[in-house]
Structure 1
Amino acid sequence: MYYYVIDSFTETRFGGNPAGVVIHKNLEQDFMQKFAAEVRFSETAFVKRLENDRFEVKFFTPNCQVDLCGHATVAAFKALLDSQLVEDNRAYVIETLAGALSIEVSQSFIVMEQAEPRLGKTFRDYAILSNLFQIDKSQIGDNQFRLLPKASSTGVWDLMLPIKTKDALYSLKPDFDGIAAFAEENHIAGIHAFTLDTTKGVAESRNFCPYYGINEEAATGTSTGALTYYLYKNNVLNDFDHNYVFIQGLSMDRPSTIVTKMVNHNQPKIKVAGKARILSKGELY
């Protein structure tokens, strides 16, 4: 069995979001969870080949199994390319707890189909949110589209939290225990804070998921897919078959570039794409 450490959503070592990847033939679930806890990446992907163009992928945080993980999927296919189990410029399918999803590999660019996009509850209690991040309530929202905090999912539920300015976004002081309790109470994975106050892409983001043992992540593909759908439903993004760029990880000194695309206007789907850099590779005994 091969084990990889891969930085996703970056082309630079020590940028992006690191993930573990294990390519295996028949590991037990208990081993996967213990191994993920041992290596302590935000997610570790365990990949099993089912057919030539079909793979089972399971995702584990140090604490639990999760339905889907974008950056670990990018890492998984970077590892599969390195192991010559997939080829460039081909399409594949992965079986996940979020369903069967298509993956395209194009010039080493990994393009992931997300699960059915959905919007959930709107959160209007700004007092709670301001206390969780020690931010003035007036900084929640945006200056043009009247965005409200709202749950969104393309495989994993997160609260989309609009912040008016970039300075406010990077001055957030998260109460991780409080965020974990808030997430459990509201049946979400975490909080995806973002601002449209940027010149680097559509938005700059920070993602907090202490409920799953991840205080902050440098790149979250599923959350960025959910953010894309949220922005589409709020008339911020309108173009289909267009690449949108999102920036994350600057607060952690791990800059990440995440690309999304909306397809199929009649029944919208979100695709999330990025590149990756292999940091290390070894055998697992």
Structure 2
Amino acid sequence: MEIKIYQIDAFADNIFEGNPAAVCPLNEWISDELLQKIAEENNLSETAFFVAEDEGYSLRWFTPEDEVDLCGHATLAAAHVLFQHLGYVKESILFYTKSGTLEVGRSDSGYSMIFPASGPEAIDTPTVLKEALGVIPTKTLVAFDYIVVLDSESQVRSLSPDFVKLQTLDLRGVVVTAPGDEVDFVSRCFFPKLRVNEDPVTGSAHCELAPYWAKKLSRNKLTGKQLSKRTGMVQCEVIGDRVILLGNAVDYMSGIVTIKT
């Protein structure tokens, strides 16, 4: 069995920036066990697999540890592969996923992804979360991740989490955010349960962050910056129950996965 594979830097204008994702187009679905083994072998935060279906594509995402319900940067990478390498000619692509139907379009300014918004709700900060981060949050919220709000960009930059303690929390991960010095908000994203201690640029987290900051700042168009080592910029627009994320993607490499059967 041979499977084409692409590695794409998403939310990036140049290679070695943004968040790398592997993308494997399939003619038909292979076993979940094999999908997981490929993702583990790639050892990237996400590997995306898609199969043509109806008017679009069925899309799934795997970390080295498990399948996830939503991933932004690997969706962007999958769309880039379709537009740039597989001859997709329409102006937008429909992806059928565990989080519903997602749409990715292209324009002169990059790719735009229409994702579901997930407005976080305030909670009391779990003790283990305070211990793991070593800070007292200004506010803690919950959506599909814990959202920890701090006072300043410098606090977010200086965090050195205890990943073993973060791994004991019940949700997917922890997203730490604060007002930005030069952008609307900054963030860092930690997913040790998925064997991704810190994700470089996390599109799905902005489905939680954008609604919060849009309400906080009283405007629906926002610029977020993720303060990982690679860094990445995400333009966000909140429209009702949807978030539009804008970003670019660039090729890093392509190849063939060869599996003896």
Return the TM-score normalized by structure 2.
Answer: 0.91
The answer to whether the 8 A contact 2:36-2:65 is kept is yes
- Structure 1 distance, partners of 2:118, 2:206, is 12
**Which residue is 1:117 aligned to?**
118
Aligned-residue offset at 1:84: 3.0
Deviation at 1:87, TM superposition (A): 2.7
Q: Could you tell me how far 1:68 is from its partner in structure 2?
A: 1.1
| CA distance 1:237–1:165, change in 2 (3 Å) | closer
Q: Do residues 279 (structure 1) and 257 (structure 2) align?
A: no
Consecutive unaligned residues in structure 2, runs of 5 or more: none
- Give the aligned partner of residue 258 of structure 1: 234
Structure 1 residues 273 and 123, CA, compared in 2 at 3 Å: closer, same or farther?
A: farther
Letter in 1 for 2:149: P
Report the counterpart of residue 203 of structure 1 in structure 2: 185
1:1-285 pair list within 5 angstroms: 1-26=3-28, 27-51=30-54, 53-87=55-89, 90-107=91-108, 109-120=110-121, 122-125=123-126, 127-135=127-135, 137=136, 140-141=137-138, 148-152=139-143, 157-182=144-169, 184=170, 188-199=171-182, 201-232=183-214, 235-240=215-220, 242=221, 244-248=222-226, 250-252=227-229, 254-264=230-240, 268-285=241-258
In 2, the alpha carbon distance for the partners of 1:179 and 1:34 equals 25
SS of residue paired to 1:207:
strand
Shift of 1:220: 0.3
Instruction: Calculate the aligned-residue CA RMSD, in Å.
Output: 1.8
Looking at structure 1, the residues matched to 148 and 124 of structure 2 have their Cα atoms a distance apart, in angstroms, of 9
Give aligned pairs, total: 255
How far is the alpha carbon of 1:225 from its aligned partner?
1.7
The CA deviation string for residues 29-87 of structure 1, in whole angstroms up to 9 with x for no partner, is 22110000011101100011114x40111000001100110000011111111223423
What displacement does 1:101 show?
A: 1.8
Judged with a 3 Å threshold, the aligned counterparts in structure 2 of structure 1 residues 74 and 106 are, in CA distance, closer, same or farther, namely same
CA distance in structure 1 between the partners assigned to 2:173 and 2:8 by the alignment: 23
Distance 1:149 1:71 in 2: 25
Matches of 2:79 and 2:245 in 1, distance apart?
13
Question: Secondary structure in 2 aligned to 1:181?
Answer: coil
Q: Which runs of 5+ in 1 are unaligned?
A: 142-147
% identical aligned pairs: 25
**Following TM superposition, by how much is the alpha carbon of 1:96 offset from its aligned partner in structure 2, in angstroms?**
0.6
Distance 1:97 1:263, change over 3 A: same
Q: Deviations over 1:203-226 (max 9, x none)?
A: 111000101111001100010121
TM-score (norm 1): 0.84
How big is the shift at 1:122? Answer: 1.3
**Alignment partners' CA distance in 2, 1:224 and 1:116:** 9
